[in-house]
Amino acid sequence: MQPPADRPPGATVPDELAGCWRRAWIEFADGTRDDTSVVIWLQLASDMADVRVPADHPLRSRAGFDDCTLDELRSLAGSESSSGHTVCTPVEVGDDGVRRATAEWFTGEAGVAFQPVSAFPEPGLLEWHGDDVLIERAPSGAYVEEWRLLPGTRSPASHHVDEHGRHVYRSGDAVVLVRDRAVAVPREARLDELVADRGDDRDRIVALVDCEFSFALARPGEEGPVFVIEASTIPWRVGEVVDVGVR
């Protein structure tokens, strides 16, 4: 995620990029590989939101922040989730027949960044392999990752703010809910550093980590689809049916 920037008027991403993508794996320059974390990227015409959490979060069984130990509260500071908008170059087809483009992500004024300082500040060099597999590389070589398009998540697409002040991003059967923390971060630093600054002050730690990015998928219901949370930076919300204001 890049520092805030203004969105070019009327800017949209290529149609090939729209939808909800789930990361299959990421491999870093040192050879380490992560193919277990839940990483979701929901891309609308310009607006975007992503959710990045452990697949089997150890705090799912907790009843809330008050049910967590101090160390467990501190462990919630590791997510890289964010929302904002995407700027992408036109897709070009190379001599090898592969479609390529370069994307950048910005929080801007309307976006939310779980981390005040991103661990992934570079643009992404994108390659399409078919319509539902996307390879992303960092220009520096820091990482390469594979994304797969979730079926049924290209349309309809929408973004609104609900009565609770949450941003609701929808692309087909996928929804990402975003709610910013109620307090401003005191300085530009990684969230675990800011949490460490709070010592054993539970209330001030909770104020920093209480920032929600939840990914929900549609399931059949008696009166239409219902959206059930599959992954969240508030881990005990997994499994909840949420009213996202869309049908």
Q: What are the sequence ranges of the domains in the chain?
A: 15-242
Long-range CB pairs of 141-145, under 8 A, 24+ apart, other chains included = 141/29, 142/28, 142/29, 143/26, 143/27, 143/28, 143/29, 144/26, 144/27, 145/23, 145/24, 145/25, 145/26, 145/27
Q: Distance (Å, rounded) from C-alpha 53 to C-alpha 57?
A: 7
User: How far is it, in rounded angstroms, from Cα 228 to Cα 217?
Assistant: 6
pLDDT at 231: 97
The pLDDT assigned to 229 comes to: 97
The SS3 call for residue 218 is strand
pTM for the model stands at 0.93
In terms of phi and psi (left: phi > 0; alpha: psi -120 to 50; beta: otherwise), the region of 152 is left
pLDDT tens string, the chain, 247 residues long: the values are: 443 444 455 568 999 999 999 999 999 999 999 999 999 999 999 999 999 999 889 999 999 999 999 999 999 999 999 999 999 999 999 999 999 999 999 988 789 999 999 888 899 999 999 999 999 999 999 999 999 999 999 999 999 999 889 999 999 999 999 999 999 999 999 999 999 999 999 999 999 999 999 999 999 988 888 999 999 999 999 999 998 876 5
Cα dist from 197 to 69, 182, 192, 215, whole Å: 17, 18, 9, 30
**Whole-number pLDDT of residue 5:** 46
Pick the CATH number of 15-242 from 3.90.870.30, 2.40.128.280, 1.20.1440.130, 3.90.1300.10: 2.40.128.280
